[in-house]
Structure 1
């Protein structure tokens, strides 16, 4: 047979179809091994591959923190949002999701969230509420986060740190420190013919001033009363209890006042209601749980009202006369019953991101930029260092607030 030259491409084909050489066999084995590995990975669940790729990336993990507070006041909300925005700007891997509610709506909503296991990562908390939430198992013991320095409390007075503890465990950090007392418009008192009282006043004197205030409104031909009805004010009742050397609640959660104490308390306010020194029940309910701008103090229809001292600047914003504040009246003898309180920041026991939540809390209470935004929204700064930062920025009404707290 006549020989025929085979084109180069055809020779390659024939070589491939023929018996492979030893070198070629090694290449083929390597090829099949790689192919099997690729196929094996392709058959793994996508979620498993994703999880494997995420290991070790906690530091830069994109997370969303739920943050909630009470207020529903335009000025307050603006401050909280500005701080959250500033935190996001310096911590780009963390997004702050915000929830806002009025004081009245806030607590039922938070209790519902806790019961459902979906409480916000960071939440506003009041000193009078913390024991209830700890008993529910809702708050994280943040002691280890404080010990590690993630939350720095070294510039906090020990008394302020301790308010955030229960049974020796640290559950929350103070946003601000304040007290509650009696607020009044100095100009309105002058119109009503009432001399400004002082911190040594008694409950008997307060009742007399309330009746005199109501008479003053009547003489001016205006609707008004000398005082708000504080019979349902828990903080005022707590002060009343302390003036009797008792606490509103015992350590086991039971009521610390006896039947006589409660009869005395409600009789005091019932007599003032009967005499016209405080509004009727319908009016009190009408003005309950409204924003600052809608309160009876701002509307000028009461002379005296119970208000946290940190709220003085907010009230001053809506009132022409000078707003002042005093401690609550006391008994004719015995202690004043006043106590320091404030607003706090705990972490949910169910938070998936406790480290990031702690980082946010530390920013909130220790960063100069955050402190300059917040100023005295919830009272004096808990950190002595941050108080020094904001002091040059305070207005006269804010300085009066500090004086009222320190009185």
Structure 2
């Protein structure tokens, strides 16, 4: 899930935190690096195995691991950074990347080999100042469809290379009319749906300069579309939509079979398919025109590895990050747990060994490579507040407490006030 709160970073504290030695190591050539990440128990086990493999090849480098639950991760990291005690290596999320990078708290990772990465994947971790996050898994936003519910409703799966938003609305209504205990479509997860919408209308969530990259009219049309869907019976009522947004994926209406379609990030589809007991279909997004490439897909980093600007071992930190993303040993261990490997050669290596939902994700990622739109700029500083703001005004529209126009104006103004 994306962050729901700002980590409370202090610009002065972060700038001070970036003023570590930035050089060298101990006199005997040995180095000890701290590494922090969040994730499931499976991720913890995988990561420790990768650390063990790295230490076997680099006996002079020791990695001290720390892992946390998502809740509290960012508050803890902000506290450590402000106290000039940031971990050497940090698992990073895109909504926080600029907040740390622009305040001088991250190391430019110019020595990490990204030659086998698609350019938009590299750019997702780059600001004007340099490369501050190296992608360790790639996702794409996808429309997950339940083929069992389509069959039950007597509706064919759409041709996802040509369908339009009008098609999406009509199909959702037809599904809803023909299903007894389910709706045609559900909520749009996190900011991904809104990002897709504004990309298809020539904008971005954030601009390259770290400002808002969309207009009030984009937000208004987005809210209007959802309100029309709800009024037509294509999606659940506001109360159910709001509740579904607040639960984990394994408790969502997608998993319980209460919606036939709903957008998710591609890496989430594996666990959701397993929880639902159905191999869900990964579909491209509709677009305004239905023309090839008009859906404007992009590769999103599921997460990054960053390094502290204050690390005493910048070369070794980058050596570990390079091993994590480019070595066969690491990729064979982590496989698709953090998303599909960004290194094209490593992706091909593991794809031959994947099956079921994991294989479907790998095939989907490969299938849209030739259709990718522009890179999605690194979110603006303050962008970690955007999901909460979007959720709140989305609810205001669906509960009909605000008009789409008023909600769009208010949301834009509030997001703009958060940009630093």
The alignment's TM-score, normalised by the length of structure 2, stands at 0.71
> Structure 1 100/195 Cα, relative in aligned 2: closer, same or farther at 3 Å?
farther
Contact 1:66 1:121 in 2 (8 A): yes
Tell me, in whole angstroms, the C-alpha distance in 2 between the residues paired with 1:112 and 1:307. Answer: 32
Does the aligned pair in 1 maintain the 2:267–2:361 contact within 8 Å? yes
Aligned 1:310-349 pairs, distance under 5 A: 310-332=267-289, 335-342=294-301, 343-349=303-309
Structure ranking higher on relative contact order (CA contacts 8 Å, 6+ apart): 2
Quote the offset at 1:64 in angstroms.
Answer: 4.4
* Greater alpha carbon shift after TM alignment, 300-309 vs 104-113: 104-113
Query: Deviations for 1:20-51, whole angstroms, at most 9, x for unmatched residues?
Result: xxxxxxxxxxxxxxxxxxxxxxxxxxxxxxxx
Query: Aligned residue for 1:211?
Result: 173
Instruction: Give the Cα separation in 1 of the matches to 2:167 and 2:136.
Output: 35
Bigger radius of gyration, 1 or 2? 1
User: Which residue of structure 2 aligns with residue 68 of structure 1?
Assistant: 37
Give the equivalent residue in structure 1 for 2:186.
228
Q: CA deviation at 1:184?
A: 1.7
Please say if residues 33 and 88 of structure 2, whose CA atoms lie closer than 8 Å, have aligned partners that are also in contact: no
8 A contact 2:187–2:245 mirrored in 1: no
Q: CA deviation at 1:395?
A: 0.9
Whether the 8 Å CA contact 2:200–2:288 is kept in 1: the answer is yes
1:262 partnered with 2:219? yes
After TM superposition, give the deviation of residue 197 of structure 1 in Å. 1.4
1:94 aligns with 2:68: no
Measured in 2, the distance between the counterparts of 1:285 and 1:117 equals 40
Give deviations 1:220-266, integer Å, cap 9, x for gaps. Answer: xx3x3322222x73122111111111222223333222222211111
- Which residue of 120, 123, 128 corresponds with 2:90? 123
> Are positions 1:367 and 2:324 aligned together?
no
1:196 Cα deviation from its structure 2 partner:
0.8
Residue 163 of structure 2: aligned partner? 201
In structure 2, the partner of 1:56 is: 27
Which residues in structure 2 correspond to 1:362-401 (within 5 Å)?
362-401=322-361
- Structure 1's 134 and 404: CA in aligned 2 closer, same or farther, altered over 3 A? same
Q: Is the 8 A contact 2:137 2:340 kept in 1?
A: yes
Partner of 1:286: 243
Deviation at 1:316, TM superposition (A): 2.6
CA distance in 2, matches of 1:269, 1:101: 33
Aligned pair partner of 2:144 in 170, 183, 201: 183
Q: More helix by proportion, 1 or 2? A: 1
Residue ranges of structure 2 left out of the alignment (5+ in a row): 1-24, 369-420
Superposition deviation, residue 85 in structure 1: 4.1
Partner of 2:415: none
Alignment length, in residue pairs? 338
Note if contact 1:178-1:380 (Cα within 8 Å) is conserved in structure 2.
Answer: yes
- Structure 2 distance, partners of 1:203, 1:311, is 23
